[in-house]
Structure 1
Amino acid sequence: MDPRHIVMVGYDGAELLDIACVTSTFGLANTIGQLSPGYRVSLATLGGRPIRCDSGLVVEAQLTLERLTGPLDTVIVSGGFGHERAADNALVVAHVRRLARESRRIASVCTGATVLAATGLLDGRRATTHWRFAPRLASRYHDVRVDSAPIFIREGRVATAAGVTSALDLTLAFVEEDHGPDLARQVARDLVTYLQRPGNQAQMSVYVAPPAPDNDVVRRAVDHVLTHLDGDLSTARVADAVGVSPRHLTRLFLRELGDPPARFIRCARVDAAARLLDSTDLPMPEVATRSGFGSAEALRQAFVARFRMPPAKYRAVSRRPAPETPEPERAMSG
């Protein structure tokens, strides 16, 4: 049997970590699993030229994108700050679209979803990308159902992964699909990463505060929300706290944050609950109370709507396992 040929598509301005997460994971699977045949991993670029990554490092390509033909196992498009230039390049788009027809799986990592969207492969599909770039992707490609919450999404043979290191999670899922969960767990341990982090787990943006709004009223309103999550945060009450009308506050939130106050507040409460679930052993009713939900059931409904999993499952998969306690050495008999 021939090796499974994995092709990474790169371009100037690609993110080196996007490429390395994929290529190193498959390479480690070869080594740990002693796979025969294993994975053959290549980087393809236009003209087979070296690419300059976001970091400034130059990476050599092994294949010329225009000359590459299938059948291939998996084609994965890298992300990076050059993603929109790549998506506007008709040659890149045409060859990615062609190779998708000649491969078993087609995927993107991070902002590489922009290139897949340009090919039309994501039309009518649910897809993810780095949370910071999700609004831009949604506004540019109206036929793509952009979901910025999960770390990766699989829809049949098409997959999209979120920001940067989520490429590890998607690649581990591919290894598990190809060779079983035991090898995937061994590779994850050697990579010192989460074990079997599921695709619908939230992106780490849950823990990253958004930039402070430029508008002083919105900034004060956000500060009020984040310091009173367990209180009355109706739009009228928040508007009163910052001295404007509810209608004016709604206009400002939509302009500055892209969401009305009620949606922003709900997301802030879910994010606060996620932090409590990940960092404490508080029972679910207490988590609900502290994060401003009236009941554990209200918290559950909000979590399922946001992350497509209940809070109990989120806690189970997001927390790092406790370190194993080594067995005491037995005294040697003499």
Structure 2
Amino acid sequence: MISIGIILFPGFQALSLATGTVFEYANLEVERQVYRVDLISEHGGPVSSSLGFAVQTRPFGSERYDTLLVVGDNDLAVGSVGLIDYLRRAPDFARRVASACTGSFHLAAAGLLDGRRATTHWYHAREFKQRYPQVPLDEDRIFTLDGPIWTSAGMTASIDLALALVEQDLGVEVTRQVARSLVVYHRRAGGQSQFSALLELDPKSDRIQTALAFARQNLRQPLSVEQLAQAAHLSPRQFSRLFRAETGQSPAKAIEHLRLEAARLMMESGWHSIDIVARDTGFADPERMRRAFLRAYGQPPQVIRRSLQLQS
């Protein structure tokens, strides 16, 4: 049996408990108890969550775990001496040590992330880098794996991390079925961005939102300003002026970002050739896509693909 210890502390983020559900459904999928999940804390007993309800826990002890996962919180609370000491010793009695969301701050405080790649919630990335400059932070990643240490980005990304742990233990088919049961996307690749191009653009008006939604659904088309303006029910001149005012970008640059995001997702989720990715995301030809990747990421698509495959 694979033992999972989920470490809680006062004020822990309630959504972090969803990681335990992934292991629960893995047991249901294989119709036997592969995983045993313990909720543990420094002193045991009831531990209050960010929503105010309390969860019963077992105290830290001498028990060995296959995987220890420390959760995060909303306020970046400094971990207690007992919590940090327990995490510092964790590699001695756990095969894998992981964090959900801002739990990475506790792993870093325990010295477990020194010199290792890690991630955390994007909102707290700057604070993390200030506190722990010795940790190479991948601030735009869903989750990272460096040796026996796993870290996830914020909130629902901890579910992706838990699915990745199950995939390592039980294989991709079990993980796919667990994801379907939970009605979540079959594990997002670790290298996938925490951000969405549409969220970054943050259009305010319904007309610009409608135009961007039209663009995302029709990336294979040339998508001229005239087409986008028609979708927004504006003249091309009005559309271009309003689009830049709301997003800070030209329509052409925004569409390129949408194409880049779609191309990365295609490379993460399958083995499509570069030619097919370029065609299906509207770049028209691989060379045009290569130039866009170099502008955005400083690397060509082939290098990005190899990196994503290594991280997933």
Q: Find the residue that maps to 2:77 and give its secondary structure.
A: helix
Q: Find the residue that maps to 2:123 and give its secondary structure.
A: coil
Deviation per CA, 1:166-189, whole angstroms, max 9, x where unpaired?
111111111111111111111111
Which residue of 166, 183, 199 maps to 2:190?
199
Go from structure 1 to structure 2 and tell me whether the alpha carbon gap of 1:192 and 1:149 turns closer, same or farther (over 3 Å shift): same
- Number of residues paired by the alignment? 256
Counterparts in 2 of 1:28-107, with a 5 A limit?
A: 28-36=25-33, 38-61=34-57, 63-65=58-60, 68-86=61-79, 89-107=80-98
Q: Give the C-alpha shift of residue 98 in structure 1.
A: 1.4
Kindly, what percent of the aligned residue pairs are identical?
31
Q: Give the C-alpha shift of residue 303 in structure 1.
A: 4.2
The 1-side partners of 2:284 and 2:3 are apart by 48
Go from structure 1 to structure 2 and tell me whether the alpha carbon gap of 1:304 and 1:104 turns closer, same or farther (over 3 Å shift): farther
Equivalent residues of 2:88, 2:112 under 8 A apart: yes
Go from structure 1 to structure 2 and tell me whether the alpha carbon gap of 1:204 and 1:225 turns closer, same or farther (over 3 Å shift): closer
Q: Does the alignment pair 1:178 with 2:183? A: no
Q: Which amino acid aligns with 2:55?
A: V
Q: Give the C-alpha shift of residue 45 in structure 1.
A: 1.1
Go from structure 1 to structure 2 and tell me whether the alpha carbon gap of 1:6 and 1:282 turns closer, same or farther (over 3 Å shift): same
Equivalent residues of 2:67, 2:94 under 8 A apart: yes
Q: Give the C-alpha shift of residue 24 in structure 1.
A: 0.3
Go from structure 1 to structure 2 and tell me whether the alpha carbon gap of 1:186 and 1:112 turns closer, same or farther (over 3 Å shift): same
Query: TM-score scaled to structure 1, two decimals?
Result: 0.67
Deviation per CA, 1:92-116, whole angstroms, max 9, x where unpaired?
1001111232100000011100000
Which runs of 5 or more structure 1 residues have no equivalent in the other structure? 213-221, 232-267, 318-334
2:14 corresponds to which residue? 16
Q: Give the C-alpha shift of residue 227 in structure 1.
A: 3.1
Which residue of 133, 137, 154 maps to 1:163?
154
Q: Find the residue that maps to 2:188 and give its secondary structure.
A: coil
Go from structure 1 to structure 2 and tell me whether the alpha carbon gap of 1:107 and 1:305 turns closer, same or farther (over 3 Å shift): farther
1:139 corresponds to which residue? 130
1:187 corresponds to which residue? 178
The 1-side partners of 2:70 and 2:284 are apart by 40
Which runs of 5 or more structure 2 residues have no equivalent in the other structure? 204-243, 267-276
Query: TM-score scaled to structure 2, two decimals?
Result: 0.71
